[in-house]
Chains A and B, each alone.
Chain A
Amino acid sequence: MFIAATVGVLASMSLAMTRALMGPTVYDRVLAVNTFGTKTVLLIAALGFLTERPEFLDLSIVYALINFIGTIAVLKFFEYRDLGWTRRPEADAE
């Protein structure tokens, strides 16, 4: 069963990568990378059970945190063009 799960996760990884390659808009690609990070989490978890080392589950939880923070950082960068500054430059000028 874990073999089937691993194969499924690998297949969906390749689908997410296709979207990142083709994706016409910026948000397609951001979402594709986020999805890919989630698939990495699932792959590590499935591999842990497949190789009978269920403690890999803890590792994948930390990966989920990294993935979440990374996506927030990318989107925040798009919104504000800066990470340490919480207002748009246009709002400053007014």
Chain B
Amino acid sequence: MVEFVDIALLVLLGITAFSIIRQKNLFAAVMLAGIYSLLSAGLFVVMDAVDVAFTEAAVGAGISTILMLGTLALVGHSEHQPQHRPILPLFVVILTGAVLVYGTLDIPPFGDASNPAHHHVAPHYLEESEHEIGIPNVVTSVLASYRGYDTMGETTVIFAALVGVLLLLSLGPRPRRVFSNGRWITVAASEKDASEGGAEEAQEDTLQISPEEKTLGDTNG
């Protein structure tokens, strides 16, 4: 029965992939990409990789869909006719795919108890972590103790990415706090600013000070 579910999900996955390629309406392609992610998440669940499936559903169907919609808001909803014949890229993709399939040939069988992954450090973690670390949950002790430095590095990377994204998002056409003439004022986003996204222009010729800020500045001065 699980094989049947696998086959059905893979057939739906193939149909979705070909529809994304053939689809000229980019919004429909984005929505189909969301469906593709949900299907992959279902496949991961069938293969017992529920944590990977979580990530796939949250990132693939959630965040990426929003990011691609944000891109569509900038570039329009329909695909232009390509100016070239993509023969060489197709050849490169087929070649890469063939090499990848060749690489899977000597991978150990799926779910076999004698696979190398189950004989390296996993038995040690399962048997010893309870009195070595003192946490009943093995996954937590692996993440927070055995691979503690690795987790710290990952957290640093995610923090850096978050700071970068927040900096990029703060560039948009919205009210900003600007330090000008020795005090902080709020610069409202103007209509021109919203339509053209010119951040520098807003500061120079369309500077609008909100009333309460102005009175506050006057009493101070």
Contacts and interface: CB of A to CB of B under 8 A. Distances in A.
A26 B69 CA distance: 12
Interface in A24-59: 26, 29-30, 32-33, 36-37, 40, 43-44, 47, 50-51, 56, 59
Q: How large is the interface on B (under 10, 10 to 19, 20 to 34, 35 or more residues)?
A: 35 or more
B173 to A, nearest CB: 8
A14 B12 contact: yes
B1 A66 contact: no
A69 B62 CA distance: 8
Interface stretch (B25-33, B104-112, B209-217): B25-33
Interface in B113-132: none
Contacts of B194: 89, 92-93
Given A74-B65, A84-B169, A47 B31 contact: no
A63 B57 contact: yes
A4 B66 CA distance: 35
Contacts, number: 100
B1 A74 contact: no
A29 B27 contact: yes
A33 B62 contact: no
Contacts of A6: 1, 5
Contact of A33 (B5, B12, B31, B41): B31
Contact of A13 (B12, B70, B73): B12
Nearest to B189: A92
B66 A37 contact: no
A36 to B, nearest CB: 5
A28 to B, nearest CB: 9
Q: How large is the interface on A (under 10, 10 to 19, 20 to 34, 35 or more residues)?
A: 35 or more
Contacts of A59: 45, 50, 53-54
Interface in A3-32: 3, 6, 10, 13-14, 17, 20-21, 23, 26, 29-30, 32
Contacts of A74: 65-66, 69
B142 interface: no
Given A66-B62, A69-B62, A73-B66, A29 B28 contact: yes
12 contacts: A6-B5, A17-B12, A23-B28, A29-B28, A33-B31, A37-B38, A43-B42, A50-B1, A59-B54, A66-B62, A81-B73, A89-B194
Interface of B: 1-2, 5, 8-9, 12, 15-16, 19, 27-28, 31-32, 34-35, 38-39, 41-42, 45-46, 50, 53-54, 57-58, 61-62, 65-66, 69-70, 73, 169, 172-174, 189, 191, 194
Given A21-B32, A47-B5, 8 more contacts: A10-B5, A13-B12, A17-B15, A29-B31, A43-B5, A50-B1, A59-B53, A92-B191
